[in-house]
A and B are shown apart, each in its own frame.
Chain A
């Protein structure tokens, strides 16, 4: 008998057949789901015509993204309402969950015409900030440090934005071993993202704000510099703001392939006119950063 797990994420009701997703907030709501997650036999999926955005691993068609990673599994995300998955026999559920929660949900949001950034969002006193930056810029480290001083996490990894509001996303932070050690956390008590990978999942639902979308006050583009304190530089040049936001879109190839580029660029243009965007340089030393954050107002530093 099929077991249905019910969750709410990014303001969507998600039903998962026989696959528990412990990272997501559960819901008791019985209403029809917006998104279904179910296992399928990927050998039965129809062949797709090759398109310009395809790679060896990604196939994109109208309202469809297909991902295949040899030896791990495949995902087929269609019409903004279904994530079908298949996995290699020896691969544990956790491994396919990672892909579902990242590129799977990201594709669903893009298909549903939602602007998605690669970063995280946090809130304090009902006001939200978004932190963007390339892998290794310090996004997750900053997010964890902020939750330690009273900020609520809205979303990590995927940041979904609608009408200058950030939608409540996945309530977990992923930290590498070096950050886990710097925060003096016991990695033996944490779950790894995957076996053999020294990246850990920190779930703290009490510091998670999932009630409703929150207005964005500020967007930070993070850079990691060798310096002794946190430094903020506001960006006044509109073109630089646009490029900064565009460069931090989640999976731009999916956006282009699904034909959502026009909508995305228009939404970014609207955002840049109404939002405050700054570059935030973080010190390398986590303890210095933690100390500095106590006196640095990330909502209003003007």
Chain B
């Protein structure tokens, strides 16, 4: 699904396009998608340089930082972002990462969990969009997210469901401590999906995690086409092997994974589809499906 209703001037100055977003509600396959892209780009580079392709034990993730990374923001601010209030920081985040001169070495593919919304002054968006080449937005069934989120945040299934339907849900929102990332407003799962899929500022490719999981080859090709990378069948096959879920899990248990938060023991879990329906109580499952009926139907989740 590619959004064609964009602002007229979006591609003005296209030669400056240099960054992409991979956006999603947390635990929707965002990291896996970045690993696929990073692995493929490395393989393309290796083939171009005629390097020997060796099986590496590290997980490729060198695509660009999460948009909410505090060190990245501080570097561009010149002061500590932790000395700013949430409101002050919200106002200026739209200017972060836009300086072409700083980041012209490689294209960037930033992970984003913030929802796409206007800050309290209702005038400006929070997420920078000027010259953004496009966003891959990943959707996953919220009941499955609830199970994964429970492991990720170390909370019960009940609290996980409450989080998904909470209109004020956020990440890094505890004001009593410092977080490696800055505050990110999510809202409900449905709000998050709508905020990105209905925006008209950035070209968008909407993908269901379930499709990428079931037919990775087909849907990864769609991603490559969208982000304008060459299609190389041999390298796609190698990418599928290197970024296979079971392999990533094995590497993580042996060598660890840099993006695993302290709250969970392993970042890569099962990735199994339909886990939510199995593990949540009937009431919890109903709470999700009745709250998000409209969006679930729109994306053919039955």
Q: Which residues of B from 216 to 260 have beta carbons under 8 Å from A?
A: none
Shortest A215–chain B CB gap in Å is 29
Indicate which residue in A52, A134, A197 contacts B71 across the interface (CB closer than 8 Å): A134
Do B79 and A69 have beta carbons less than 8 Å apart? yes
User: Which residues does chain A contribute within 8 Å of B85, judged by CB atoms?
Assistant: 194, 196-197
Interface flag for A148 (CB, 8 Å): no
Distance between Cα atoms of A145 and B80 in the complex (Å): 23
With A70-B92, A136-B180 known to touch, is A55 a contact of B99 (CB < 8 Å)? yes
Chain B residues near A193 (CB, 8 Å)?
A: 83
Asked if B272 is an interface residue, CB under 8 A from chain A, the answer is: no
Tally of contact residues, B, Cβ under 8 A: 29
Would you call A199 an interface residue if the criterion is a C-beta within 8 Å of the partner chain's C-beta atoms? yes
Evaluate contact between B75 and A253: CB separation under 8 angstroms. yes
Q: Which residues of B contact A179 (CB under 8 A)?
A: 177
| A197 to B178 CA separation, bound complex (whole angstroms) | 11
Residues of B within 8 A of A57 (CB): 76-79, 92, 95
Task: Say whether A58 faces chain B, with CB atoms less than 8 Å apart.
Answer: yes
Chain A interface residue count, Cβ-Cβ cutoff 8 angstroms: 40
> Which chain A positions have C-beta within 8 A of B92?
56-57, 69-70
User: Does the CB pair B262–A226 fall under 8 Å?
Assistant: yes
Are A58 and B76 in touch, CB under 8 angstroms? yes
Q: Is A67 an interface residue (CB 8 A)?
A: yes
Interface residues of A in 120-178 (CB under 8 A from B): 134-136, 176-178
In the complex with contacts A57-B77, A57-B92, A226-B262, A135-B180 CB distance below 8 A: yes
Given the contacts A103-B78, A197-B85, A55 and B102 also touching, CB distance less than 8 Å: yes
What residues of chain B lie closer than 8 Å to A177, measured between beta carbons? 175-177
Q: Mark B72-88, 1 if CB is under 8 A from A, else 0.
A: 00111111101111001
For A224, what are the chain B residues with a Cβ–Cβ distance below 8 Å? 262
From 203 to 241 in chain A, residues with beta carbon under 8 angstroms from any chain B beta carbon are 224-226
Asked whether B296 is an interface residue with its Cβ less than 8 Å from the other chain, the reply is: no
Contact mask for chain A residues 54-74; partner B; CB cutoff 8 A; 1 contact, 0 none: 111110000001010111100
Interface membership of A284, Cβ < 8 A: yes
Among A50, A136, A194, A196, contact of B178 (Cβ-Cβ < 8 Å):
A136
CA–CA, A102 and B179, complex, Å? 19
Does B208 touch A at the CB level, under 8 Å?
no
The minimal Cβ–Cβ distance linking B260 to chain A, given in whole angstroms, is 11
Decide: B175 and A198 in contact? CB cutoff 8 A: yes
Complex Cα gap A179–B178 (Å): 10
A102-B80 in contact (CB<8A):
yes
B65 at the interface (CB under 8 A from A): no
Q: Nearest residue in B to A196 (C-beta to C-beta)?
A: B85
When C-beta atoms are compared, the residue in chain B nearest to A284 turns out to be B262
Q: Mark B170-192, 1 if CB is under 8 A from A, else 0.
A: 00000111111000000000000
Say whether A191 faces chain B, with CB atoms less than 8 Å apart.
no
In chain A, positions 95-124 with a C-beta closer than 8 Å to chain B are 98-99, 102-103
**Which residues of A8-24 have CB atoms within 8 Å of chain B's CB atoms?**
none
Residue A251 lies at the interface, judged by CB distance under 8 Å to chain B: yes
Of all chain B residues, the one with the shortest Cβ separation from A51 is B101
Is the Cβ of B262 less than 8 Å from the Cβ of A72? no
Say if the beta carbon of A7 comes within 8 Å of chain B: no
Task: Name B153-180 residues within 8 Å CB distance of A.
Answer: 175-180
10 contacts across the A-B interface (CB closer than 8 A): A50-B101, A58-B76, A67-B79, A72-B88, A103-B78, A135-B80, A135-B82, A178-B176, A194-B85, A251-B75
Interface residues of A (CB under 8 A from B): 50, 52-58, 65, 67, 69-72, 98-99, 102-103, 134-136, 176-179, 181, 193-194, 196-199, 224-226, 251-254, 284
